[in-house]
Copies of this chain bind each other. A is one copy, B any other.
Amino acid sequence: MSRNFASDNVSPASAAILAAVNEANADPVSSYGADPYTARLQAVVSTLFETEVAVFPVATGTAANALALSQIAPPYGAVYCYEASHIATDECAAPEFFTGGAKLIGLPAADGKLLPEALAASIALANDMGVHHAKPAAVSLTQATEWGTVYSIAQLAAIAAVAREQRMTVHMDGARFANALAHLRCSPAEATWKSGVDVLSLGATKNGALCAEAVVFFNPKLAADFERRRKRAGHLWSKLRFLSAQLLAYFEDDLWLRNARHANAMAAALAGGLRAVAGARLLHPVDANEVFVALPETVVAGLEQGGFGFYRWPLCESRDDVAIRLVTSYATRDEDVGDLLAAIGEFA
């Protein structure tokens, strides 16, 4: 039984993914991506997204995001994003590094979702300032969001429409893309390029891989020279088969969706239980696998002493109760959630 709800990345790897790594460890194969696993991945992801894509495996989400942004924003460009987005606050200025100094423009959001009007207004201001301002180049949105919510297809399209009108490119940070897709119950294509997304950081690590993310360009022309960017960033593995094999297993037999559905269901169960707790206040809708809840300090302290793992989260408004984040994963079990809810009930 696990009491660790700190993040979905504390989980081990799915058995199927680990098995795939073991199976890939056979005879010598050509290095740097000239291997059959990587070739097959290209075909598999294209089929999955119903269009010819260019897909590049990398080991971390920070690399996927920052490389993707460096491809679509020049060094003198502006990338519009939620002011508390992962790329803006949790990646130690990786986007600035990879882009060569592009500027992230932090915008307000509702439940972590960018607002089309605020986005358009900020771009208009930049256009007014001309050469003095970084050039509006890209919009980056997170799906599922940092607050565990999921953009609807209409919401995605509205953001993309603003970008398209300005000839800007749309990036989706999909560290939890599978969780979003499981919530949306639509096709991967509808959730991305059919809604205006140009490039996707498709995460697997949080959802069952050892270390695997894929940068997916829905128009391969947009990926020109991307492999040199990956190489010079030290993200081209010599034994790339071990990355590609993880992703192949991730997509096989819908493992990614099965894992995500389970994680989402565990979060929903947790949220359901919390709604019945006096003094507990859910801070955002629970669409995916993250639960943000405000609890009395005594409860939070009790959980910490009880060995539960989670993060305290800064609240925008100062209040007497404490906000915490609880994250479920493919590996969370019913009894883990039950155990946590029981403890909360006890301390409340």
Q: Give the B-binding residues of A (Cβ under 8 A).
A: 2, 4, 6-7, 9-13, 18, 21-22, 24-32, 58-64, 66-67, 74-78, 89-94, 96-104, 106, 125, 129, 131-135, 205-206, 210-211, 225, 227-229, 231-239, 242-243, 309, 314, 331
Given the known interface contacts A10-B31, A25-B18, A60-B235, the answer about A132 and B76 at a Cβ–Cβ threshold of 8 Å is no
Q: Are B232 and A92 in contact (CB under 8 A)?
A: yes
Do B232 and A91 touch (CB < 8 A)? Answer: yes
A227→B97 CA distance, assembly (Å): 15
Complex CA gap A171/B297 in Å reads 39
Cα distance A33–B11 when bound, in Å? 14
B131 touches A92 (CB 8 A): yes
- Of the residues B12, B132, B134, contact of A26 by C-beta under 8 Å: B12
Contacts of A27 in B (CB 8 A): 2, 12
Contacts of A76 in B (CB 8 A): 92-93, 97, 225, 228-229, 231-232
Q: A232's contact among B26, B30, B89, B94, by CB below 8 Å, is which? A: B94
* Contact A25 B13, beta carbon cutoff 8 Å: yes
Q: Would you call A92 and B132 a contact (CB within 8 A)?
A: yes
Whether the pair B63, A97 counts as a contact (CB closer than 8 A) is: no
Contacts A206-B238, A242-B211 hold; do A90 and B133 have CB atoms under 8 A apart? Answer: yes
- Distance of A31 Cα from B62 Cα, bound (Å): 14
Contact B101 A331 (CB under 8 A): no
Residues of B close to A102: CB separation below 8 A: 93, 96
Q: Knowing A28-B4, A132-B90, say if A59 contacts B59 (CB, 8 Å).
A: yes
A80 to chain B, nearest CB (A): 14
Point out the residue from B10, B22, B242, B243 that lies within 8 Å of A30, measured CB to CB.
B10
Which A-B residue pairs are the 10 nearest by beta carbons? A63-B234, A96-B101, A100-B100, A9-B238, A62-B234, A92-B232, A10-B28, A97-B101, A76-B228, A4-B28
Task: Give Cα A103 to B95, complex, Å.
Answer: 10
Residues in B with CB closer than 8 Å to A13 are 25, 239, 242
Bound-state CA distance A212–B279 (Å) is 48
Q: Can you list 13 A-B pairs, Cβ within 8 angstroms, ordered by A?
A: A4-B30, A6-B30, A11-B28, A12-B26, A12-B28, A59-B237, A75-B100, A91-B132, A99-B101, A103-B104, A131-B227, A132-B231, A134-B228
Distance in angstroms between the alpha carbons of A74 and B29 in the assembled complex: 32
Residues of B within 8 A of A104 (CB): 103
Q: Are B234 and A211 interface neighbours, CB within 8 A?
A: no
Task: Collect the chain B residues with CB atoms within 8 Å of residue A67's CB.
Answer: 234
